[in-house]
């Protein structure tokens, strides 16, 4: 027997996007029902952003102990208590969890149903115990780790981001399938904690980034002892006393104690019965228009499942747009969002807009590319860490197409460009600000200022100055 409810809005999925919609709708006085079959907080809190950054922080501390000699500080080898590292990871999750908890949302007036939800018809969502007829429905079911169809993999014990944080012992030798952000981040972290690490990537490691950007991180990984195999396609996996991965035509074999599969993520479409609601989808996710509405005009899709990017902060932005559109009827356009992304290796890669390779494909030679090295940044010099650079890509007339920073804490310094690009600010707005000295963030003003250097110090300007000196 199932009970029947009516609601103003139903949300499927209690990750970042779903929770934001639920909180906003409930506080606006709408009858709100939230379905979640797994953990409140979704992937980011339980298996992604939060635990991975806690692990990376612990690994960073271990690494810092060993690299102080250049600054005149020496210490013995770092001692890693892996059980305590994992205790820190889970304590971090626990500290944040109350913000996303069922009790908090019920306190806001949300009806929370901890069961798998599926569409029953175009405006009804049901679970094992309840069916809910709603005026609006938001699909925020997220994504999960993609498992490639490599022979032998299904029969071989392996880890994903959803299981690796449950380890109780440090892997002696970790094989990572996939050299994207997740593979690179976790590979470096486990190496710093004491594991031997091999990253196997069928294409280019960190392939979404420009090669000069990715190379800074890849060189650091290799310098720390991570074995990075590029252009290495895994064609077979076998279990035994150790895990063995066979690579391509070379018949090279890589063995290890543990295998982490980090080849990307896929939208969680299974079991939603989207067809019953007349919702179009493909392997990339639910198809939506620029207002995030599906072909069924009552239904919206946000976050990873919407196929527009797999970032927690993007899901949160989608939530804001859907509340504006579905609740207030205001026009919104998800296609115009400026979405930064960060790869949390050391050094970090922070990007916004187009990379140089993408920009040249889209705009040809009608580009200006400015770079500024952290070797010329006084704070970086003082810290003894000048790895990386900033890259600004504009049209010939100065419209910003993209920015990439690669360096220590780069993710903390991309915010200014996110504001500039989302607000349509001119480069002159950045050159006119006063940046505190000495900070790594000065690199942003230097990039913007460097764009004006050819015109400012041109022969024409010098002639104008030569004339003006007699008038002033």
Q: In the predicted model, is pLDDT for residue 379 greater than 90?
A: yes
Answer yes or no: are the C-beta atoms of 395 and 359 closer than 8 Å. Answer: no
Using CA atoms, how far apart are residues 262 and 151, in angstroms rounded to an integer?
Answer: 16
pLDDT at 471: 73
pLDDT at 1: 57
Percent pLDDT > 70 in the chain is 99
User: Which tokens hold the place of 461?
Assistant: 């300007």
Other C-beta atoms closer than 10 Å to the C-beta of 233 total: 15
pLDDT at 240: 85
Other C-beta atoms closer than 10 Å to the C-beta of 425 total: 15
More confident residue, 454 or 154: 154
Burial 249-282 (b: 16+ CB within 10 A, else e): eeeeebebbbbbbbbbbbbbbeebebeebebebe
- Torsion angles phi and psi, residue 144, rounded to 5: -145, 165
Q: What is the mean pLDDT of residues 314-328?
A: 97
pLDDT at 459: 72
pLDDT, one tens digit per residue, over 159-217 is: 999 999 999 999 999 999 999 999 999 999 999 999 999 999 999 999 999 999 999 99
Q: In the predicted model, is pLDDT for residue 66 greater than 60?
A: yes
Confidence at 74, pLDDT banded by 50, 70, 90: confident
User: Which tokens hold the place of 373?
Assistant: 């090295």
pLDDT at 8: 98
Using CA atoms, how far apart are residues 231 and 250, in angstroms rounded to an integer?
Answer: 11
pLDDT, one tens digit per residue, over 6-55 is: 999 999 999 999 999 999 999 999 999 999 999 999 999 999 999 999 99
Q: In the predicted model, is pLDDT for residue 381 greater than 70?
A: yes
pLDDT, one tens digit per residue, over 422-471 is: 999 999 999 999 999 999 999 999 999 999 988 776 677 777 777 777 77
pLDDT, one tens digit per residue, over 87-127 is: 999 999 999 999 999 999 999 999 999 999 999 999 999 99
Using CA atoms, how far apart are residues 33 and 38, in angstroms rounded to an integer?
Answer: 16
pLDDT, one tens digit per residue, over 331-364 is: 999 999 999 999 999 999 999 999 999 999 999 8
Using CA atoms, how far apart are residues 457 and 452, in angstroms rounded to an integer?
Answer: 9
pLDDT, one tens digit per residue, over 402-415 is: 999 999 999 999 99
Question: How distant, in Å, are the alpha carbons of 36, 357, 405, 412, 452 from that of 416?
Answer: 35, 23, 12, 9, 18
**Averaged pLDDT score across all residues of the chain:** 95
Question: How distant, in Å, are the alpha carbons of 164, 188, 373 from that of 196?
Answer: 16, 10, 31
pLDDT, one tens digit per residue, over 256-310 is: 999 999 999 999 999 999 999 999 999 999 999 999 999 999 999 999 999 999 9
**Ordered domains of the chain (ranges, CATH):** 3-145+266-336 (3.50.50.60), 164-264 (3.50.50.60), 347-456 (3.30.390.30)
Confidence at 2, pLDDT banded by 50, 70, 90: confident
User: Which tokens hold the place of 252?
Assistant: 């090279």
Percent pLDDT > 90 in the chain is 91
Q: In the predicted model, is pLDDT for residue 472 greater than 70?
A: no
* 3-class secondary-structure state, position 367: strand
Q: Identify the sign of the CA torsion 276, 282, 285, 287.
A: negative
């Amino acid at each position: 027997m199932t009970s029947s409810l009516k609601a103003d809005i139903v949300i499927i999925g209690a990750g970042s996007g779903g929770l934001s919609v639920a909180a906003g709708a409930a506080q606006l006085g709408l009858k709100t029902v939230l379905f979640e079959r797994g953990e409140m907080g979704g992937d980011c809190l339980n298996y992604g952003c939060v635990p991975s950054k806690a692990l990376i922080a612990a690994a960073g501390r271990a690494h810092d102990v060993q690299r102080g000699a250049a600054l005149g500080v020496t210490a013995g080898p770092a001692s890693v208590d892996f059980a305590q590292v994992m205790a820190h990871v889970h304590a971090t999750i626990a500290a944040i969890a109350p913000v996303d908890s069922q009790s908090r949302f019920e306190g806001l007036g949300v009806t929370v149903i901890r069961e798998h939800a599926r569409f029953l018809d175009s405006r009804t969502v049901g679970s094992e115990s309840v069916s809910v007829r709603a005026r609006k429905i938001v699909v925020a079911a997220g994504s999960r780790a993609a498992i490639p169809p490599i022979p032998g993999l299904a029969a071989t014990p392996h880890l994903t981001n959803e299981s690796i944080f449950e380890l109780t012992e440090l892997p002696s030798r970790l094989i990572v399938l996939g050299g994207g952000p997740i593979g690179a981040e976790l590979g470096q972290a486990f190496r710093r904690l004491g594991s031997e690490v091999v990253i196997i990537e069928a294409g280019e490691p960190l392939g979404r980034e420009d090669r000069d950007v990715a190379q800074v991180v890849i060189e650091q990984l290799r310098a720390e002892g991570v074995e990075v195999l590029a252009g290495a396609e895994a064609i077979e996996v076998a279990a035994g006393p150790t895990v063995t991965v066979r690579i391509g035509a070379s018949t090279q074999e890589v063995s290890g104690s543990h295998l982490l599969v980090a080849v990307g993520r896929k939208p969680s479409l299974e079991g939603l019965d989207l067809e019953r609601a007349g919702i179009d989808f493909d392997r990339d996710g639910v198809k939506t228009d620029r207002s995030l509405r599906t072909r069924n005009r009552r239904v919206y899709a946000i976050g990873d499942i919407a196929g527009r990017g797999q970032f927690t902060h993007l899901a949160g932005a989608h939530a804001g747009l859907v509340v504006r559109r579905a609740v207030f009827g205001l026009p919104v356009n998800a296609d115009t969002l400026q979405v930064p992304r960060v790869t949390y290796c050391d050094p970090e890669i922070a990007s916004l807009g187009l990379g140089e390779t993408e920009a040249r494909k889209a705009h040809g030679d009608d580009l200006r590319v400015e770079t500024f090295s952290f070797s010329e940044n006084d704070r970086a010099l003082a810290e003894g860490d000048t790895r990386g650079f900033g890259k600004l890509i504009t049209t010939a007339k100065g419209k910003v197409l993209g920015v990439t920073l690669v360096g220590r804490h780069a993710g903390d310094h991309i915010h200014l460009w996110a504001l500039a690009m989302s607000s349509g600010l001119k480069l002159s707005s950045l050159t006119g600000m006063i940046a505190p000295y000495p900070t790594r963030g000065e690199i942003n003003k230097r990039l913007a200022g460097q764009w004006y250097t050819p015109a400012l110090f041109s022969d024409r300007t010098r002639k104008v100055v030569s004339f003006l000196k007699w008038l002033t």
